[in-house]
Copies of this chain bind each other. A is one copy, B any other.
Amino acid sequence: KFGIQVGLDELFPASYAAALYISTKYPAIKKAFVIGSQGVMDELAAHGIDSVGGPTPEYSQNFIHTEADFSAVELDKEIGAVVCGWDLGFNFSKLATASLYLQKGCLFVGTNGDAYDRLSDRNIPGNGCLLKALETSIGKEAEVVGKPSQWLIDHLIQSNNLDPKRTIMIGDRLDTDIAFGKKGGTATALVLTGCTSPSDLHNQASPVPEEMMPTYVLPSLGSIYSMARTELPPPPPTFLAVDDEAPPG
C-alpha cells in the first residue's frame, strides 16, 4: 500500500519481544505458562520455549469451580516463566494458575501494558487490564518487554545496526510508540488516524510530558512521503517500525 517492502524478520510484535527477552536473558527457562494468544505460544516455540495455557482446550474454560479445585491445581516444575499477553480467552482459572506459578517465583513478563484499544466508539479492555489483575494477586509488577521498554529499543537498534539519528519511530500512541522512540534517541512521528487526537496533544489540563512529545505530527501515515521529501535533512530516514497493531475501527 505504501510501497514499503517489509519482511517477516522486520516485524517486531510484543510477543516476539517476550520470547526474545526470555531466551536471551534467561536461557535456562525452557517452558512458560501463557496468558495470551496462539501467537505468543508460537513466538515462544520459535525461540525454543515450550508453553502451556493460552488458547489450548484445557485452559479455554474455567476449571476451578470450588476452593478445593484451586487447592488441587498441580504445578509443572519445568515452568520457569509466566508470559501475560492480550487474551480474548482470559478467565479466572488462567489467572489463578498464572498467579500460582508467580507465587512459586517464576519470571513475570508482560508483552505490553495498554489499558485498552479503541474500536470505533468503544474501548476494548487491553492487556494492561489482565496484567493488573495478575499483578494485584501477587503484589508485584511484571516486566513489560514490548513498547516502550528500554530493553526492546536498545535491542532493535543494536541488532539492526540502526543509527538513531537517521531513524524515525512512527506510531499512534504517545505513551507507547512515541515514548519508545524517544528512549532510543530516534526522531518520532505521531499519526492522528489512531488512538491520539489533536486535543490529546494540546490538553492544558494534562499536558503531554516531554518524554512522550513527538518530533512530528502527521495527519495520516501517507504524509510521510511529503515529510521525507521536504522536512527532514537528507539522507532520508530509516523507518524503524510502523505500529504493529491493526488500525482501529
Taking Cβ atoms with an 8 Å cutoff, the residues of A that contact B are 60-62, 64-67, 70-71, 87-92, 95-96, 99-100, 103, 115-116, 119-120, 122-126, 128-130, 132-139
Contacts and interface: CB of A to CB of B under 8 A. Distances in A.
Contacts of A64: 88
A144 to B, nearest CB: 14
Contact of A67 (B103, B116, B119): B119
A99 B134 CA distance: 18
Query: In this complex, which of A62, A67, A136 has the most chain B Cβ atoms within 10 angstroms of its Cβ?
Result: A136
A64 B117 CA distance: 15
B71 A122 contact: yes
A124 to B, nearest CB: 5
Nearest to A94: B91
A204 B126 CA distance: 38
Contacts of A115: 136-137, 139
A248 B124 CA distance: 36
28 contacts: A61-B61, A62-B88, A62-B89, A62-B90, A62-B91, A64-B88, A65-B88, A66-B88, A67-B124, A70-B119, A71-B120, A87-B92, A89-B92, A90-B92, A91-B91, A92-B125, A95-B125, A103-B122, A103-B123, A115-B136, A126-B137, A128-B136, A129-B134, A129-B137, A130-B133, A132-B132, A132-B133, A132-B135
Given A61-B61, A115-B136, A123-B137, A129 B95 contact: yes
